[in-house]
Structure 1
Amino acid sequence: MSRKLFGTDGVRGKANTYPMTADMALKLGAAAGRYFRRDGQNRHRVVIGKDTRLSGYMLENALTAGLTSTGMNVLLLGPVPTPAVGFLTRSMRADLGIMISASHNPHHDNGIKFFGPDGFKLSDEAEAEIEAILQGEIRPAQPENIGRAKRIDDGRGRYVEYAKTTFPLRDRLSGLKVVIDCANGAAYKAAPDVLWELGAEVIPVGVAPNGYNINEKCGSTHTQTASETVVQHGADLGICLDGDADRVMIIDETGRVADGDQIMALLAARWAEEGRLSGNTLVATVMSNLGLERYLAGKGIALKRTPVGDRYVVEAMRAGGFNLGGEQSGHIVMTDYATTGDGLIAGLQFLAEMARTGRAASELTRSFETVPQLLKNVRYEAGREPLAAEAVQSAIADGETRLNGSGRLLIRKSGTEPLIRVMGESEDPALLEQVIDRIVEAVASAS
């Protein structure tokens, strides 16, 4: 069964434009409610969280209407990180969890992500079944079985308390000055609270959301603001989250940024040393740098690659029984602690290593030398298939020939935006740029 509405991370689009309309959210809520409501009793519940986008109010209300119309009881969490929804879905014994967020995208976008009762994101098959229900006539509940909605005021506090338990009980962050950039997003209260309660001196950035400024010149996709703040205040570390706090970038005391690959390298090596790395394997996507692969091989650690998307990382982890995985973009998945990427908890694990070793962040974020990598995005018009164009295929084939085994190319559609992502790696940066530019030009002409 195929999916058309769902992408690699739920349903996403521009707010008030299909499919991110109130009408579609209502129908989607009703379809999900009908899928998860297994009997005629009002015992089924769904938790809904959101980030700080203005359109979140509209979508939250529409989803609630659709869900209650099919007899689901709705528990509204308000602004909380995406991993909090996964955690609370399981903790509150809910049948379904929903996060309203477009993650790292600008404020005018939004999205709807679904979690099953185990706290993990829904499978492709489950999403396809919900789409199938959506296409038909959705049977509403009888009047006496309409669901209720209730606001949960302490959802964020429950997550804060849980996040702190993932930090070693014997350790504190006393004496550490930490910049935390919350991207004016879902973790704008939770993340600073956790760090402060663990004893750090906290310098918050991106903690004044207004509905429009999420991810705007801040957060994991714009680390310059936090980097400058770290240097200005002489901080020991910077932690940059994205809009829904499932991604993280680490900034060392010099202002240098470490991506997900460096964070995974540190954690994988440490966990392997402690005998904690299940299957002695790290799961990462095809985007992760060749330098990471070589570093892990030198440590005797296997690297299992997946398609791009944290959901595919998690699926591979669950299938293989692995407990550590992630993406170069900053999704760090630690199934010992969370069911999805958790930027705050990943940051805490990094801080725990600083506390354990007494080493500076700059020493811990440079586990390996990266192979030069270049990524360029090309926007295309809806309905076009630029990758199928003969000129594009020719440019890709020529590029692979020129790299001649000394590097690699990865050209793919984004799963969340109308973009073609053109990425390559090579020990020869000049050659790499020539190859990438030619492919980009061919894709742009076909778009």
Structure 2
Amino acid sequence: MGRLFGTDGVRGVANADLTAEMALGLSVAAAHVLAEAGTFAGHRATAVVGRDPRASGEFLEAAVVAGLASAGVDVLLVGVLPTPAVAYLTGVLGADLGVMLSASHNAMPDNGVKFLARGGHKLDDELEDRIEKIYDEHRTGAPWDRPTGSGVGRVRHYNEGFDQYVAHLIGVLPNRLDGLKIVLDEAHGAAARVSPEAFSRAGAEVITIGADPNGLNINDGCGSTHLGLLKAAVVEHGADFGIAHDGDADRCLAVDHTGEEVDGDQIMAVIALAMRERSALRSDTVVATVMSNLGFKLAMEREGLTLVQTAVGDRYVLEEMKEHGYALGGEQSGHVIILDHATTGDGTLTGLMLAARVADTGRTLKDLASVMTRLPQVLINVPDVDRTRVGTSADLAAAVTEAERELGSTGRVLLRPSGTEPLVRVMVEAADIDQARSVAGRLADAVKSALG
């Protein structure tokens, strides 16, 4: 079988790809890998378990709890909370591991299991590989030591987590939000209670949409992947701006008072300048992926800030931040990591910090976001090609060199082989949309010719 872990845990159609048996087995394996150090240190290992509101999360939660407790791990059930809340609680409660059941922005039939290490940090590849190895061994019949009697884990509901997390969010804000009217789109997801509570306690007038999860409607035409409802609501209510989360609320996108989208790059630009003013932007550096818009890089250079770019994926952003002690990083999609206050992308925290900047400056979000200009970006997927030869084809290299020469300093080319499909993604940015389309089309033809 192929590798189970993707870029963000194990994910698939619940009860088809991701079954109760798999969730139980993965939890036992995770207990062996992540909790054994705590057990050998002389205390009973503990896990924090949370989920988003998907209906399938109910039976998957039961399976995860059964697996952990059967492996001798005590379980604190925190209920429906965002991924960053589970990460935060895993850290502050001194738990040996955390588990979040969510498929993030995916449609309702999907679900996922995300494991967090001690401190609330995402797992590196080596830990995931160890969990998968033990899972495969158990799945194929290898026995494992099962505790009995007082050795089995105990399970209890930890209802204090909601208030602890909200208090944490309010406690790190640099200023209050009094006088702001904000529309929040909660995607019928994990932040449906947390986010409105946090914004209200911080002083904002809050209007909510997508805040009535029923287990079946998560991400359904709303949230950060469907901004239409939020744009309309912001204009209708005359709000200062709007904030949109995804299903597990580790993302934040925004809409200004005119109904225009403010993406993750623009949000990072606004927050970066605010953090620099507070001397909180260490090394005057922001970390982003290679997919960030060239306009973001040009804006950071103009403002005297350094941009460090990584491979695509918030885990790679986080690794770079942790290695060098940087304070801010994220993705164009709205995963923004403020490392002094969170171990993962945190959509509610990001939205609060963005709102704090608006409140503090008295400027509109539209004005603040104008610090960067998004250059036109064209993305073409070229299917049925040998993606493994992207970096070795001389003909393709020549085509890229010619495209870069034509674009000069006001454009950019990026070729990315898909990690899961036989296709190559061609991305071109240019000051002019017609030029971007023309160059992207020629490069897509070159990919077909060289790799087809």
Given the alignment of the two structures, is residue 320 of structure 1 paired with residue 321 of structure 2, yes or no?
A: no
Shift of 1:273: 3.3
Shift of 1:440: 6.3
Shift of 1:421: 4.5
The letter of the residue matching 2:27 is G
Gaps in structure 2 of 5+ consecutive residues: none
Deviates more, 1:114-123 or 1:396-405: 396-405
Which residue of the partner structure matches residue 85 of structure 2? Answer: 84
Which residue of the partner structure matches residue 302 of structure 1? Answer: 306
Q: Is the 8 A contact 2:330 2:337 kept in 1?
A: yes
In 1, Cα distance between equivalents of 2:30 and 2:183: 39
Deviates more, 1:294-303 or 1:280-289: 294-303
Q: 1:415 to 1:220 in 2, by over 3 A?
A: farther
Q: List aligned pairs for 1:407-446, cutoff 5 A.
A: 407-412=411-416, 421-437=425-441
In 1, Cα distance between equivalents of 2:59 and 2:78: 15
Given the alignment of the two structures, is residue 214 of structure 1 paired with residue 218 of structure 2, yes or no?
A: yes
Q: 1:67 to 1:443 in 2, by over 3 A?
A: farther
Please give the per-residue CA displacement for 1:14-57, whole angstroms capped at 9, x wherever unaligned. Answer: 22223x11111111001001112233666101111111111111
- TM-score after normalising by structure 1: 0.90
Q: Is the 8 A contact 1:30 1:138 kept in 2?
A: no
Please give the per-residue CA displacement for 1:295-324, whole angstroms capped at 9, x wherever unaligned. Answer: 111222111101111111111000011011
Q: 1:405 to 1:237 in 2, by over 3 A?
A: same
Please give the per-residue CA displacement for 1:351-397, whole angstroms capped at 9, x wherever unaligned. Answer: 1111111111211121111221123557x7xxx8752489x976786
Deviates more, 1:281-290 or 1:208-217: 208-217
Which residue of the partner structure matches residue 14 of structure 2? Answer: 15
Three-state SS of the structure 2 residue aligned to 1:150 is: strand
Shift of 1:142: 2.2
Please give the per-residue CA displacement for 1:135-157, whole angstroms capped at 9, x wherever unaligned. Answer: 22351322121112112223222
In 2, Cα distance between equivalents of 1:81 and 1:419: 33
In 2, Cα distance between equivalents of 1:83 and 1:269: 24
Shift of 1:221: 1.0
The letter of the residue matching 1:97 is G
- TM-score after normalising by structure 2: 0.89
In 2, Cα distance between equivalents of 1:311 and 1:218: 25
Q: Is the 8 A contact 1:76 1:151 kept in 2?
A: yes
Give the % identical residues: 46
Please give the per-residue CA displacement for 1:208-260, whole angstroms capped at 9, x wherever unaligned. Answer: 11222211111111111101000000001101111111110111111111111
Gaps in structure 1 of 5+ consecutive residues: none
Shift of 1:183: 0.6
In 2, Cα distance between equivalents of 1:434 and 1:185: 40
2:146 to 119, 141, 144: 141
Deviates more, 1:108-117 or 1:321-330: 108-117
In 1, Cα distance between equivalents of 2:332 and 2:95: 31
Deviates more, 1:419-428 or 1:309-318: 419-428
Three-state SS of the structure 1 residue aligned to 2:122 is: coil
1:278 to 278, 282, 286: 282
Q: 1:17 to 1:315 in 2, by over 3 A?
A: same
1:33 to 19, 31, 34: 31
Please give the per-residue CA displacement for 1:332-357, whole angstroms capped at 9, x wherever unaligned. Answer: 10011111111111111111111111
Instruction: Report how many aligned residue pairs link the two structures.
Output: 437
Which residue of the partner structure matches residue 366 of structure 1? Answer: 370
In 2, Cα distance between equivalents of 1:219 and 1:377: 25
The letter of the residue matching 1:246 is D
Q: 1:99 to 1:421 in 2, by over 3 A?
A: farther
The letter of the residue matching 1:353 is R
Please give the per-residue CA displacement for 1:50-95, whole angstroms capped at 9, x wherever unaligned. Answer: 1111111121111111111111111111110110011000111100
Q: Is the 8 A contact 1:42 1:72 kept in 2?
A: no
The letter of the residue matching 1:167 is L
Q: Is the 8 A contact 1:7 1:415 kept in 2?
A: no
Shift of 1:282: 0.5
Q: Is the 8 A contact 2:102 2:113 kept in 1?
A: yes
In 1, Cα distance between equivalents of 2:32 and 2:302: 51
Which residue of the partner structure matches residue 103 of structure 1? Answer: 104
Q: List aligned pairs for 1:334-373, cutoff 5 A.
A: 334-373=338-377
Q: Is the 8 A contact 2:414 2:428 kept in 1?
A: yes
In 1, Cα distance between equivalents of 2:446 and 2:57: 38
Q: Is the 8 A contact 1:31 1:138 kept in 2?
A: no
Q: Is the 8 A contact 1:69 1:140 kept in 2?
A: no
Three-state SS of the structure 2 residue aligned to 1:300 is: coil
In 1, Cα distance between equivalents of 2:169 and 2:447: 44
The letter of the residue matching 1:219 is G
RMSD: 2.6
The letter of the residue matching 1:181 is D
Q: 1:216 to 1:376 in 2, by over 3 A?
A: farther
Q: 1:60 to 1:283 in 2, by over 3 A?
A: same
In 2, Cα distance between equivalents of 1:57 and 1:96: 20
In 2, Cα distance between equivalents of 1:89 and 1:175: 34
In 1, Cα distance between equivalents of 2:66 and 2:245: 31
Given the alignment of the two structures, is residue 331 of structure 1 paired with residue 335 of structure 2, yes or no?
A: yes
Q: List aligned pairs for 1:221-300, cutoff 5 A.
A: 221-300=225-304
